[in-house]
C-alpha cells in the first residue's frame, strides 16, 4: 500500500462525498439542521480548501493498495510541526477491512516527511470504532466536548 497525493481531477471526484459526509456528521451530532447542512458543509469545505489540492498547508492523499485500487482518502492540515487529520474516508464499505495499523503507519510516515512531530485527529463521539482504532494505534484522547440540545 502507498499514500499518493491527490490530483485536482481526483479531488473534484470526491469533493461531493466529502461535503455530504461532513454535513451528515454535523446533522448526526445535532450541530446543524438537515435543511441547512449541505450548504454549510459546502461553504466550510470551499473556505478551507479554497485552492483545492493546491491549498497551502493542506494535503489530500489517496491510499492505493497493491492492485492499484484507491481504498480511502485522507485530508490533513499542517500547522507548524503539527498535522491535523480532517478526515479519513473509505471509498466504499469493502475497503474497511484494511489493517488500521498499516493505514496509520503510512500516514505517520508521510507526516514525518513533512517535519511534523505531532498528529491529531478529531473524531465525532458516536464513532466508537474509529475511537478504538486511534487508541489502538497509540493515540490519546486530549479533550472531550459534551453537548445537549435544549
- For residue 113, is it within any domain? yes
Better-predicted residue by pLDDT, 142 or 150: 142
Question: What is the rounded distance in angstroms from the CA atom of residue 92 to the CA atom of residue 56?
Answer: 28
What domain count does the chain have? 1
- Give burial (CB, 10 Å; 0-12/13-18/19+) of 22: buried
- For residue 143, is it within any domain? no
Q: What pTM was computed for the model?
A: 0.86
How far is it between the farthest Cα atoms of the chain? Answer: 50
Residue with cell 496509520: 104
Q: What confidence tens digit (pLDDT) does each residue in 24-61 have? A: 989 988 889 999 999 999 999 999 999 999 999 999 99
Q: What confidence tens digit (pLDDT) does each residue in 52-109 have? A: 999 999 999 999 888 888 888 999 999 999 999 998 888 876 555 556 778 888 999 9
Domain membership of residue 40 as a residue range: 2-136
SS3 (DSSP) at 62: strand
Kindly state the cell numbers that stand for 103. Answer: 493505514
- For residue 144, is it within any domain? no
- For residue 136, the Cα-to-chain-centroid distance in whole angstroms is 18
Amino acid at each position: 500500500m502507498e499514500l499518493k497525493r491527490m490530483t485536482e481531477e481526483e479531488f473534484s471526484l470526491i469533493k461531493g462525498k466529502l461535503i455530504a459526509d461532513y454535513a451528515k456528521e454535523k446533522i448526526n451530532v445535532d450541530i446543524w439542521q438537515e435543511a441547512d447542512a449541505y450548504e454549510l458543509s459546502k461553504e466550510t469545505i470551499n473556505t478551507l480548501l479554497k485552492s483545492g489540492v493546491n491549498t497551502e498547508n493542506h494535503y489530500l492523499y489517496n491510499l492505493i493498495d497493491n492492485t492499484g485500487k484507491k481504498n480511502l482518502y485522507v485530508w490533513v492540515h499542517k500547522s507548524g510541526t503539527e498535522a491535523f487529520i480532517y478526515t479519513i474516508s473509505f471509498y466504499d464499505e469493502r475497503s474497511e477491512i484494511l489493517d488500521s495499523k498499516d493505514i496509520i503507519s503510512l500516514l505517520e510516515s508521510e507526516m514525518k516527511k513533512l517535519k511534523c512531530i505531532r498528529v491529531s485527529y478529531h473524531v465525532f463521539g458516536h464513532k466508537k470504532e474509529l475511537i478504538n482504532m486511534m487508541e489502538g494505534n497509540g493515540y490519546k484522547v486530549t479533550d472531550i466536548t459534551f453537548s445537549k440540545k435544549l
